[in-house]
Amino acid sequence: MDGPRTIRPEEFSSLSTLVDTVFRPGQEGEMFRLFPTFLTESNRENIFVFADDDGTIVSHLGMALRWVSIEGCTIPAAAIGAVATYELHRGRGLASQLLKRARCQAREWGADFMMISGGRGLYRRVGAADVGSDVNVAVDRSVADALRDASSALHPLERANIPDCAVLYARRGAHYLRARDDWRAFIDLKVCMCKEFDPWTVRRGGVVCAYLVVHDAAKHDRLEVLEFAGDTFGVSAALPELLDRYGRGSIDLHLEPGDRALHAVLTGAAAPAEPAVTSGTMLLLDVPRLVDRLQPLFRARLGRTYPDRLTVHAGSDGSFEFALGSTRWTAPSVMEAAQFLFGHPEHPPRLGGFKTALPVSTVWYGLDYV
């Protein structure tokens, strides 16, 4: 068995066969179509494989290295996806070795955490955790009627609207630093999180004030907003018109902590909201370095009341001791450290200044899904 190693240019056809067989059987070339900025030769150095003796790719793990912004703090982050092994070769630890190789390369690049699109045992065993202090909101027709606004109009999102949408997206509290050509690829493809979507803009006075990426789950009589950004009232005003256009009974949104104003508008109109974690799981790669990069955020939240820095000490037993002034809290593992920093609906209450400084907002995949 040859690996773990990066893929060679001549092996992409074999890789395509593997990932299609595992994830999209009978749909030749579908996985490469779904991930045009990820499963591509330009990302070859981050695509890890095992090949058997005849040169066939039998196991794969792909990684994307990207920059994210969390309330003004720029963080290098990794994401992995399309992890696949032929059934004949499973149970031999190939995927575990590929994950180890990816984690090492991500750390060397500077990534502080890794987003993972799933929560299988392969990831849990190395400490990947469910994180987030988010909410899911369902808006049905009775709620939507209270959100109508005749001053806002819904229009299809076209390439010419990308600069406006990019500005709106960059205003989100936590977001990817998304390249302009990636925007074009995603909008042209019209697939987000492996779901077909329609992109819409909301305009007020002819100006784009919001956009929504919408999946029509027709068999469930509902719509799903896969990504949105922009003016709170622009987003909320789009919901009743979307229900009208598609003829559906409800529309679902995933809100992050930075969406408090929209949360207030929707729940104020009697939309039910439930606590939620972000999509997939998160694996912290370098906790002290991450905490150091987040210092500007902590200082802004804490103000002058807490002159001390929020610090963390990594123990030899895999634990992490967080300190802020005289307050201490120890996470027994990297999984608990992730939930301490990024929150979890069932995480125990924080103490002292930790309650003011945390949780840190997660980054929703949206169009950048891997």
Predicted confidence (pLDDT) per residue in 95-114, tens digit:
999 999 999 999 999 999 99
pLDDT surpasses 80 at 348 = no
Which residues lie across from 63 on neighbouring strands? 80
Residues 6 or more apart whose CB falls under 8 angstroms from that of 23 comprise: 30, 31, 82, 84
Lowest mean pLDDT among 43-52, 262-271, 303-312: 303-312
Share of the chain above pLDDT 70, in %: 100
Query: How confident is the prediction for the chain on average, in pLDDT?
Result: 95
Q: Please, what sign has the CA dihedral across residues 289, 69, 73, 338?
A: negative
Q: Which two tokens stand for residue 367?
A: 């169009």
Q: Which two tokens stand for residue 154?
A: 């819904």
pLDDT number for residue 305:
80
Predicted confidence (pLDDT) per residue in 349-367, tens digit:
778 889 999 999 999 999 9
Secondary structure element (H or E) that encloses residue 224, with its range:
strand 222-230
Predicted confidence (pLDDT) per residue in 149-180, tens digit:
989 999 999 999 999 999 999 999 999 999 99
Query: DSSP letters of 72-91?
Result: TEEEEEEEEEEEEE-GGGTT
